[in-house]
């Protein structure tokens, strides 16, 4: 469980993170989304005590990171793959990290095997590809078998097999009840991995909601209808109060009524349908709707099912 309360970070006149509050819950994969410079990395660095918040606080399982007695067993963190001395071998890097907690060398070899870097473990990290560096960073995050994982762009530079591995890995970790917070630029990857999304923009929380709800709220569900008498059907639908957009001589996109209703209407009028497909927006659409327009930064909130959620609206 990660809890941020009124977290702000200012660098001189620039505010990188502005009064951010959120909770990352165990047993779910929470995705951190936002444009570059939105404050994702800064927030993650504050969680693990590298940067000191200007105001507010952030805790992991109720404690500030700097006060943890065994941080590696509580939080595994991958901030960037380059947090490794280039002149040291991967295995020695992990040995040095493990030594701070008295974690045995057997565990070092274990995480090397888990992350599949055995073949390069005795090579110096400076020569690693981005993907290998990323795996080494993940290996370091796993050393203490932590309850909480914080991964900044974990799939950055990984090959498809590595991307799949990370996805399965974080899903599995969450299913074991661990807390997972990850950021990614890859929207489709995030859509497949995360259960819950926190969108940051200009240092503020723009949205904090389950993935499905976010997509539902910020995109428009439509029904694509293909019919030889599309124009005629379109006119009927408009008359019934639907919004209809033509997209081709025999195809219309209908917003408003659900697919079954359109189907029934067409049957009633004897209009043949060649296609009747409900389409919903993607996370990407939702994300762009949320972050794309400066005006919308301050206007729409995404209410969470059940509880009212704080700090959605700036």
Cα 20 to Cα 40, 51, 142, 203: the distances in Å are 11, 15, 28, 7
To another protein, the closest distance from the beta carbon of 296 in angstroms equals 32
Residue placing its CB nearer to another protein in the complex, 153 or 253: 153
To another protein, the closest distance from the beta carbon of 27 in angstroms equals 14
Residue placing its CB nearer to another protein in the complex, 51 or 311: 51
Q: Is 16 exposed, middle or buried (0-12, 13-18, 19+ CB in 10 A)?
A: buried
Following CA atoms 140, 205, 157, 96 in sequence, which dihedral angle do they give, to the nearest 10 degrees? -20
Provide the binding-site residues for another protein, judged by CB under 8 A: 45, 48-52, 65-66, 68-73, 75, 77, 79-80, 82-89, 92-93, 95-97, 99-103, 107, 110-111, 114, 140, 142, 144-145, 165, 168-169, 172-173, 176
Residue placing its CB nearer to another protein in the complex, 39 or 71: 71
To another protein, the closest distance from the beta carbon of 124 in angstroms equals 8
To another protein, the closest distance from the beta carbon of 186 in angstroms equals 19
Cα–Cα distance, 270 to 287 (Å, whole number): 40
Cα–Cα distance, 273 to 233 (Å, whole number): 10
Residue placing its CB nearer to another protein in the complex, 65 or 287: 65
Contact 297, 206 (CB under 8 A): yes
Residue placing its CB nearer to another protein in the complex, 136 or 209: 136
Contact 73, 82 (CB under 8 A): no
To another protein, the closest distance from the beta carbon of 234 in angstroms equals 49
Cα–Cα distance, 197 to 194 (Å, whole number): 7
To another protein, the closest distance from the beta carbon of 196 in angstroms equals 20
Residue placing its CB nearer to another protein in the complex, 158 or 262: 158
To another protein, the closest distance from the beta carbon of 146 in angstroms equals 10
Phi and psi for 299 in degrees, rounded to 5? -110, -50
Q: How many CB atoms lie within 10 A of CB 148?
A: 24
Cα 139 to Cα 49, 110, 117, 255: the distances in Å are 20, 9, 9, 48
Which residue shows structure tokens 């290998």?
Answer: 132
Residue placing its CB nearer to another protein in the complex, 90 or 252: 90
Residue placing its CB nearer to another protein in the complex, 62 or 308: 62
Residues for the chain: how many in total? 314
DSSP three-state, residue 303? coil
To another protein, the closest distance from the beta carbon of 160 in angstroms equals 16
């Amino acid at each position: 469980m990660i809890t941020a309360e009124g977290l702000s970070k200012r660098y001189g006149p620039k505010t990188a993170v502005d009064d951010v509050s959120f909770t990352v819950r165990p047993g779910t994969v929470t995705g951190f989304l936002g444009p570059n410079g939105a404050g994702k990395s800064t927030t993650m660095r504050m969680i693990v005590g590298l940067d000191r918040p200007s105001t507010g606080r952030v805790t992991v399982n109720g404690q500030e990171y700097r006060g943890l007695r065994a941080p590696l067993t509580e939080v595994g963190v991958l901030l960037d793959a380059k947090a490794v001395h280039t002149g040291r071998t991967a295995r020695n890097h992990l040995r040095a990290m493990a030594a701070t907690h008295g974690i045995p060398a057997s565990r070092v070899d274990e995480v090397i095997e888990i992350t599949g870097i055995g073949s390069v473990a005795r090579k110096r990290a400076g020569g690693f590809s981005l993907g290998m560096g990323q795996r080494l960073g993940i290996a370091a995050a796993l050393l203490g078998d932590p309850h909480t994982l914080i991964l900044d762009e974990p799939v950055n530079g990984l090959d498809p097999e590595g991307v799949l591995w990370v996805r399965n890995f974080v899903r599995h970790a969450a299913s074991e009840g661990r807390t997972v917070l990850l950021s990614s630029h890859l929207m489709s990857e995030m859509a497949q991995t995360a259960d819950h999304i926190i969108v940051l923009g200009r240092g503020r929380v723009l949205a904090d909601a389950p993935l499905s709800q976010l997509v539902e709220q910020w995109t428009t569900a439509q029904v694509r209808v293909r019919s030889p008498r599309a124009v005629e059907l379109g006119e009927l639908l408009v008359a019934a109060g639907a919004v209809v957009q033509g997209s081709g001589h025999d195809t219309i996109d209908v917003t408003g009524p659900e697919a079954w209703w359109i189907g029934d209407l067409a049957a009633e009028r004897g209009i043949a349908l060649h296609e009747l497909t409900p389409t919903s927006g993607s996370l990407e659409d939702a994300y762009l709707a949320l972050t794309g327009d400066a005006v919308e930064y301050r206007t729409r909130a995404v209410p969470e099912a059940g509880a009212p959620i704080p700090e959605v609206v700036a």
